Amino acid sequence: MGYAPKQSVHAKKVAMTIGMLLLAIAVVLPARDTAPAGEITNPQALAKVRSFCVDTEGLNDFDRHLLKDFLKAESKPKHLLAKLPWKLVPACEEGASDAAAKVEFVPLRVLKVGLPQATPGQETERPYATKVALQIVDANSREALYNVEAGAVMNAIGPADASASTAASDNTNPVLEQRDALYHAFWALVNDVRQLQELQRTQTK
Residues 47, 86, single domain; the answer is: yes
Residues 20, 92, single domain; the answer is: no
- Tens of pLDDT, residue by residue over 74-86, are 999 999 999 999 9
CA dihedral 173, 179, 185, 189 (to 10 degrees): -160
Range of the domain at 4: 1-33
Q: Which residues are registered as beta bridge partners of 99?
A: 52, 138
DSSP secondary structure letters along 91-149: S--TTS-SEEEEEEEEEEE---TTSPPPPTT---S--EEEEEEEEEEETTT--EEEEEE
Q: What is the mean pLDDT of the chain?
A: 78
Residues 26, 42, single domain; the answer is: no
- The answer to whether 118 and 124 are in contact (CB under 8 A) is yes
Identify the CATH number of the domain in which residue 116 sits: 3.30.160
Q: Is the pTM of this model over 0.85?
A: no
- Tens of pLDDT, residue by residue over 13-32, are 545 555 554 444 344 434 44
- Tens of pLDDT, residue by residue over 121-152, are 544 445 457 899 999 999 999 999 999 999 98
pLDDT surpassing 80 at residue 52: yes
Residues 109, 8, single domain; the answer is: no
Residues 94, 63, single domain; the answer is: yes
Residues 133, 146, single domain; the answer is: yes
